[in-house]
Amino acid sequence: MRLPKAGTIEVAPSILSADFARLADEISEVEKAGVKIIHLDVMDGHFVPNITIGPVVVAKLRKCSDLVFDAHLMISEPGKYAPEFIKAGADHITFHIEVAKEPFKLIDEIHELGATAGICLNPETSVDAIEKVACACDMVLVMTVHPGFGGQQFMADAAGKIIRIREIVGSDIRIEVDGGISVETTAIVVSHGADTLVAGNAIFGQKDRLSAIEAIRKAAGC
């Protein structure tokens, strides 16, 4: 599976707010709404104060879904584990600039292993930190909450960085936004230039996931 080319708005449900005991069913539910991307939050209890899933779970999910697996690595050693996640079936790997020792090298390695690559910046990280590396990526991920937990309050200041990132990367690279995305905040980030909307609580926190996805799409103008 391949990350869709830039130029469309995509909603990427984040499994963090899903029922982890029924993950495969939860993913096939949102697949019915026509989403192309599922956002897999990987946390190591070190880079962020929470722990989620590893490659073993990704490999099992791979057998149950044809969606694009967008692995958001909130881990201290992305270089060590990125290949494992690709082998397990991740199609897109995002790692954090705050812990990237050799970001260009890691992006090349991810591409050589057949996946697309993304760089992510935390709310307090300046755009300067990713300025050089952004154009080597397929997607830039802007955090609009502190990573680690779902259901947090959207940080408008952090979303403001999307405007400058769009100037840097042009129209061929996706800009994904993650944290506090809802019907209310979608219009803000889309107007700034984001095209890939991660939503956890706003989708899996709702009983009717399909209508929740439709509502976000509508707010995004699609």
Active-site residue identified among 19, 178, 195, 208: 178
* Of 172 and 189, CB closest to ligand DX5: 189
Smallest gap from residue 54 Cβ to ligand DX5 (A):
16
Q: Applying CB under 5 A, which part among 20-28, 37-45, 80-88, 105-113 lies near Zn ion?
A: 37-45
Smallest gap from residue 177 Cβ to Zn ion (A):
10
Rounded-to-integer distance, Cα 62 and Cα 65, Å:
6
Describe the strand order of the beta sheet including 37-43 as a list of residue ranges: 10-13, 196-199, 174-178, 139-143, 116-121, 92-96, 68-74, 37-43
Q: Applying CB under 5 A, which part among 20-28, 35-43, 59-67, 115-123 lies near Zn ion?
A: 35-43
Q: What mask of x and - would describe binding to Zn ion in positions 161 to 200, judged by CB under 5 A?
A: -----------------x----------------------
Residues 43-82 that bind Zn ion (CB under 5 A): 72
Is residue 96 a contact partner of residue 122, using CB atoms and an 8 Å limit? yes
Q: From the list ligand DX5, Zn ion, none, pick the one residue 148 interacts with, judged by a Cβ distance below 5 to 8 Å according to partner type.
A: ligand DX5
CB atoms within 10 A of CB 2: 12
Rounded-to-integer distance, Cα 186 and Cα 220, Å:
6
Q: From the list ligand DX5, Zn ion, none, pick the one residue 103 interacts with, judged by a Cβ distance below 5 to 8 Å according to partner type.
A: none
Chain residues that interact with ligand DX5, rule: CB under 6 A: 14, 16-17, 39, 41, 72, 145, 147-148, 150-152, 178-181, 198-202
Rounded-to-integer distance, Cα 86 and Cα 168, Å:
28
The secondary structure element, H or E, covering residue 86 is: helix 78-88
* Of 79 and 150, CB closest to Zn ion: 150
Residue 13, strand partner residues: 199
Our answer to whether residue 41 is catalytic in this structure is yes
Is residue 91 a contact partner of residue 63, using CB atoms and an 8 Å limit? no
* Of 196 and 201, CB closest to ligand DX5: 201
| 208 CB-contact burial (10 Å; exposed 0-12 / middle 13-18 / buried 19+) | exposed
* Of 70 and 190, CB closest to Zn ion: 70
Q: Which amino acids are annotated catalytic?
A: 41, 178
